[in-house]
Structure 1
Amino acid sequence: MTFDLSPRPLNPAPATPKMIWPNGAKSALFIGFDVDAETAWIGNNPSNVDRMVTTSHGGYDARVGIAKILELMAELGLKGTFFTPGWTALAHPAQCEAMVAGGHEIGHHGYLHKLPDRTKRDEAFEEIDRGFDALKSALGIRPVGYRAPSGENFPELLAYLKKVGIRYSSSFRDDILPYRHAGPDGAVGPVEIPVNFAFDDWNFGMSSRTSSRPLFGRDPVLQLWKDEFEATHAWGGVTTLVLHPQVSGRPMRWHILRDFLKHVIDKGDVWIATGAEITDHYETLEAASAR
């Protein structure tokens, strides 16, 4: 495969139209959970399927994590978006049905949490199709939002997502406001609700024997999240969370998340919304700006 390294913006998406958040809010919070379960450990390394201790990290989702996260969201009266691999929905239907029963949005997160690879386009498209089929079979849902497994994407995949009905993505790291993707040929793509890597709990709360790294305690994580949120709030952006029940569903980290969410709620001028709600709002503003 030949790589085009010519100087150009590698993401050709145009700038965001003037962003006004609903109800006089100064910024927005998007609470996104990646319900990877065991797929986080077997999707890109299938040999782990026979390593039961390794996969037990992901097994925590179904045994404890999902229920505790749903308990927290109900306590605070919040709705989130649960990006769920199709395999997870088929393997743990009762836990995933509880997410739907709680009134939360279900997003697409591949089928087996495989890293999208431009050199394997057919496999990447199959992951999308199988994910849709599994979520429909297990939960009766066809999602409109997508978060890339392992956080990667490429132009043909973005175009395919738009073609099959995905209205928004939440994977890119290049803005603090939503924007509309554009293909190299100018084709209209999905809306992007960008991610801030500082809000990915995996970076601070997950380690294993095969990918060991330090774990961070309550004070540094909570202060980082508060500081980053406060700065994003001051700039009028969207704070997008990338949370995992197998991380933030752990006892101490559950309390970090609870305290952070209470801090945001106490501001009183933050619009807390699902990905679909943010996309609806963005598209309304987009249509108005085009008139």
Structure 2
Amino acid sequence: MEPWEWSDDIWHAKTSKVRAGRSLKPTAWKDGARCAVALSFDSDHDTIELRDGGNSIGRMSQGQYGNRVAIPRIHAALAKSDVPATFFVPAVAALLYPDEQRSAIDNGHEVGLHGWIHELNTKVPADRERELHFRAADTLERITGIRPVGMRTPSWDFSQETLRIQRELGLIYDSSLMADDEPYELLEDGEATGIVELPVEWIRDDAVYFNMNRFQALRPYTPPTAVLDIFTREFDRAYEEEGLFLLTMHPHVTGHRSRIFILEELIAHIRERSGVWFATHADIASFVRSDIA
């Protein structure tokens, strides 16, 4: 049956499965701050190639660069300005680089769920998706000593079953959906879940500007200075609206010599403004979640 042949109950069921509920934007952020800033890094590393069943040594070496070179640069940039961040890590990447995850925790950052091997949730049977997420949570807890409280689905791919699994896991937040600029509560089949959505957007993601695949028509056409300008303008408007600025970056993308300045100069620009709260995703979700009855 073609979509234009669907009865009303079919399209209604699809659109009502997971929806944005009430806004959780606070009247003021922690300690009276005007704006909240949540910096995040999706530490995919080798799993981008592994997820697709590939065995390219070259592409896996790009992933290793993320751990070997980019993460130290990123940690140094964050430490210089005393900024906490959230690192979303596929469990396989965490198993490849366990010391990286422990270092993130030791430096005051958060490690969140990002699938098992960066699989696409909509391509995985429901029972397997559940098993993979639970296995990933157990793995990150075993490596870091801390049970993850939030998830960013790999490639922001959210299945019909993902929210149910997140509720079973006892998560307090998700950061994969795009229905708002500000935090909101997720609804499942019209029911309030108590789970906070910290929304993402491709505009605020480094990969869309810099991705490269020599076998496809995919080239990094956007200069780094233009990406910094976009991110800065996104923050400036969030600050003006007294809202949330959430940025998604990837170590193997932003961590290069010609791009790390984007992170450094963005942080410096934000630091020039008064009343900014830099926080992990978990801290922001916990703060806004206190308004949920």
Give your verdict on TM over 0.5.
yes
Alpha-carbon deviation of 1:201? 0.6
**Residue in structure 2 matched with residue 173 of structure 1 by the alignment:** 178
1:108 is aligned, of 107, 110, 113, to 113
Deviates more, 1:10-19 or 1:84-93: 10-19
**Residue in structure 1 matched with residue 215 of structure 2 by the alignment:** 210
Q: Secondary structure at the match of 1:82?
A: strand
Task: Indicate conservation of the 8 Å contact 1:158/1:189, yes or no.
Answer: no
2:139 is aligned, of 118, 134, 137, to 134
CA distance in 2, matches of 1:118, 1:84: 19
1:16 equivalenced with 2:23 (yes/no): yes
How many residue pairs were aligned?
A: 284
With the length of structure 1 as denominator, give the TM-score of the two structures. 0.91
Q: Secondary structure at the match of 1:98?
A: helix
Residue correspondence of structure 1 range 190-201 to structure 2 within 5 A = 190-201=195-206
CA distance in 2, matches of 1:10, 1:229: 31
Alpha-carbon deviation of 1:121? 1.1
Deviations, residues 58-105 of structure 1 (Å, cap 9, x unaligned): 111121111111111111101111111111111111222211111111
Task: Indicate conservation of the 8 Å contact 1:12/1:183, yes or no.
Answer: yes
Task: Indicate conservation of the 8 Å contact 1:22/1:271, yes or no.
Answer: yes
2:78 is aligned, of 73, 76, 98, to 73
**Residue in structure 2 matched with residue 121 of structure 1 by the alignment:** 126
Task: Indicate conservation of the 8 Å contact 2:17/2:189, yes or no.
Answer: no
Task: Indicate conservation of the 8 Å contact 1:89/1:135, yes or no.
Answer: yes
**Residue in structure 1 matched with residue 47 of structure 2 by the alignment:** 39
Residue correspondence of structure 1 range 1-291 to structure 2 within 5 A = 4-6=10-12, 11-17=18-24, 19-20=26-27, 21-43=29-51, 45-46=52-53, 48=54, 50-117=55-122, 120-211=125-216, 212-287=218-293
Task: Indicate conservation of the 8 Å contact 1:205/1:215, yes or no.
Answer: yes
Alpha-carbon deviation of 1:15? 2.2
CA distance in 2, matches of 1:33, 1:6: 35
Identity value in percent: 31
Amino acid at match of 1:77: D
Alpha-carbon deviation of 1:276? 1.1
Alpha-carbon deviation of 1:177? 1.1
Amino acid at match of 1:122: D
Deviations, residues 162-199 of structure 1 (Å, cap 9, x unaligned): 11111100111111111111110515152101113211
CA distance in 1, matches of 2:25, 2:169: 28
Alpha-carbon deviation of 1:286? 2.9
CA distance in 2, matches of 1:106, 1:119: 24
Deviations, residues 200-243 of structure 1 (Å, cap 9, x unaligned): 11111221223422342222111111112111221222111111
CA distance in 2, matches of 1:94, 1:119: 29
- Listed as ranges, the gaps of 5+ residues in structure 1 are none
User: RMSD of aligned C-alpha atoms?
Assistant: 2.1
- Listed as ranges, the gaps of 5+ residues in structure 2 are none
Alpha-carbon deviation of 1:261? 1.2
